[in-house]
Amino acid sequence: MKTELDSERDFSQQIAQTIRDAIVSGDLPVDGRLPSEADLATRFNVSRPTVREALKRLAAQNLIRTQRGATGGAFVNRLSFAQAQEHMVTTATLLLSMNAVDFETACEARFALERACLPLACTRRTPAHLAGLRAEIARQGTDGLSDEDFCASDVAFHRALVEAAGNPVLSWHMAGAVEAMQPLMNMITFTARSRAQIIARHTDLATALANSDLVAACAALDDLASYTLELGGEIRTQRHARRTSTGQ
C-alpha cells in the first residue's frame, strides 16, 4: 500500500483512495480489519483526525464499518445488495430531482427496464411470487387507502414483479429505477377511477405471469406505461395551469 502523499491534494482524500483501491483489488479481504487509526496515522505520516476523515469517507460509501472497544477497529464491509440498492435509490432520486428530469423520461426508462424483466419472470415465477403480486393487488383495492400507501403498494408490486425474474443483479438495477420514481409518482392524486385502471392492469400482468404468457404480460405493461404517462401528463397540465393563473 502506497504511503507517500502528494501535498498538493487533500491528504484525507488520497488516503481514502489508497484504502479503497486496496479493498477493490482484494488486497484487504472482506471482514478484514484495517490497521488502527493511530497505526494508519503513523504509516501515512499524518495526524489521527486526518486519518479519521479518510475513514469517514469510506464509511459513507459503506465500504467499511467501525467498532469501538478493545478488539474494535475498521472492518471491510461486504457490500450487500440491500445496501447497494439503498445507495442507488438515493443517488437516482437526487439525479432526477437535481437535473430536472421530466416525468416522461423517467417513466420511459423505468418501464423499458421493467419490460426487460418480463421474459425471465414469465419462465421463473414461482407460486410465492404470484401470491405476492396478488397480495399487493388486493391491498391496492382497499377502501380508504391514502395516495402514499397506494404508491408504496405499487412499488411493492413492481418490486415483486422484478424479483420474479430471479436475477439479483437485475433486481438491484430495477429497485433503483422504480423506487427513485416514487417521489414523482407521489405527486399524482389517484382518483378512484385511476386506481381501478391501474389495478386492472396489475391484475392482467399477474394473470399473464401466472399463465407464463409473455405477449399478454408485455401488453399489460405497455398499457400500464401509457396510462401512467397519461396521468403524469394531466398533472403537468394542472400544474402548468396553476402556474399560469398565479402569474408565475
Partner DNA sequence: CAAATATTAATTGTCTGACATATGCCGAGA
Partner DNA sequence: TCTCGGCATATGTCAGACAATTAATATTTG
Q: Report the partner that residue 68 touches, choosing among a second copy, DNA, none (CB closer than 5 to 8 A by kind).
A: DNA
* 153 in contact with DNA (CB under 7 A): no
* Residue that is written with C-alpha cell 505520516 in the block: 45
* 184 in contact with a second copy (CB under 8 A): no
Binders of DNA among residues 28 to 87 (CB under 7 A) are 34, 36-38, 45-50, 52-53, 55, 66-74
- Residues 6 or more apart from 121 whose CB is under 8 A from it? 129, 161, 162, 164, 165, 166, 209, 217
| 186: nearest Cα among 160, 161, 149 | 149
Stretch of residues binding a second copy (CB under 8 A), selected from 79-87, 189-197, 209-217, 234-242:
79-87
Helix (H, G, I), strand (E, B) or coil at 144: coil
Three cell numbers, residue 222: 405497455
Q: Report the partner that residue 157 touches, choosing among a second copy, DNA, none (CB closer than 5 to 8 A by kind).
A: none
Binders of a second copy among residues 95 to 114 (CB under 8 A) are 95-99, 101, 105-106, 108-110, 112-113
* 165 in contact with a second copy (CB under 8 A): yes
> CA-CA distance, 198 to 131, in Å (whole number)?
18
> CA-CA distance, 139 to 148, in Å (whole number)?
13
| 136: nearest Cα among 154, 122, 118 | 154
Q: Report the partner that residue 177 touches, choosing among a second copy, DNA, none (CB closer than 5 to 8 A by kind).
A: a second copy
Comparison of 63 and 133: residue with beta carbon closer to a second copy: 63
Contact set with DNA (CB under 7 A): 10-12, 34, 36-38, 45-50, 52-53, 55, 66-74
